[in-house]
């Protein structure tokens, strides 16, 4: 069974907090321990049991966790736990449990639904997870094409190649002509 290592500073009594000389304890977490943790958070925060499977998925790269609607299972990114600790991971767990409980109750479980937003605020879950250190940031695609109106010379920037005969100018309804801005990007795509 794969174990996850992360640093965890144990709660100390107020008089011991003044002097911290010992290094933080290393704690390993398995999928079974994650399962118990999610079951406990579900009971304490939602008052409802979690009756499905929870596991770590190290292949998750840009998300903190995910909920599967068909199987009702939850996966958590172990790198979030390593990078930000149990407090931030518990917020991710609460986020996924909001999806879980609202979906099973046949209420609005998507990010845009009012039920989801209200329940997430009530239990103290996070709307977004933290960016992982060392993860590649997505760069926006540059504009590669330009549609130019042949009557009024209005320009429309496009990231993807389109057939100009299917479109007309929004100002004068004139015909459009396609021009390439980024030759290298257009050739890479083709």
Active site annotation includes 96: yes
Q: CB-based contacts of 151: which residues, under 8 Å, 6+ apart?
A: 169, 172, 174, 175
**Is 101 annotated as belonging to a binding site?**
no
- CA 95, CA 125: separation in Å to the nearest integer? 5
How far is the CA of 134 from the CAs of 91, 92, 129, 137, 157, in angstroms? 22, 20, 15, 9, 32
Element (H, E) at 5: strand 4-8
**Is 99 annotated as belonging to a binding site?**
yes
Query: For residues 133 and 127, is the Cβ–Cβ distance under 8 A?
Result: no
Query: For residues 61 and 135, is the Cβ–Cβ distance under 8 A?
Result: yes
Catalytic residue among 33, 82, 96, 183: 96
Catalogue the active-site residues: 96
Annotated binding site for Zn(2+): 95, 99
């Amino acid at each position: 069974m794969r174990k996850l290592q992360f640093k965890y500073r144990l709660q100390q009594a107020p008089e011991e907090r003044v002097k911290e000389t010992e290094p933080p304890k290393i704690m390993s977490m398995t999928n079974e321990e994650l399962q118990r943790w999610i079951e406990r958070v579900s009971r304490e925060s939602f008052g409802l049991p979690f009756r499905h499977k929870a596991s770590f998925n190290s292949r998750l790269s840009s998300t903190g966790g995910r909920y599967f609607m068909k199987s009702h299972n939850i996966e958590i990114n172990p790198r979030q736990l390593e990078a930000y600790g149990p407090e931030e991971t518990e917020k991710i767990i609460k986020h996924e449990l909001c999806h879980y409980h609202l979906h099973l109750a046949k209420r609005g479980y998507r990010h845009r639904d009012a039920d989801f937003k209200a329940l997430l605020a009530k239990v103290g879950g996070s709307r977004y997870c933290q960016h992982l250190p060392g993860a590649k940031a997505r760069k926006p695609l540059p504009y590669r094409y330009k549609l130019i109106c042949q009557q009024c010379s209005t320009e429309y920037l496009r990231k993807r190649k389109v057939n100009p005969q299917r479109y007309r100018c929004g100002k004068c309804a004139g015909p459009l002509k396609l021009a390439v801005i980024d030759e290298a990007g257009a050739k890479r795509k083709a």
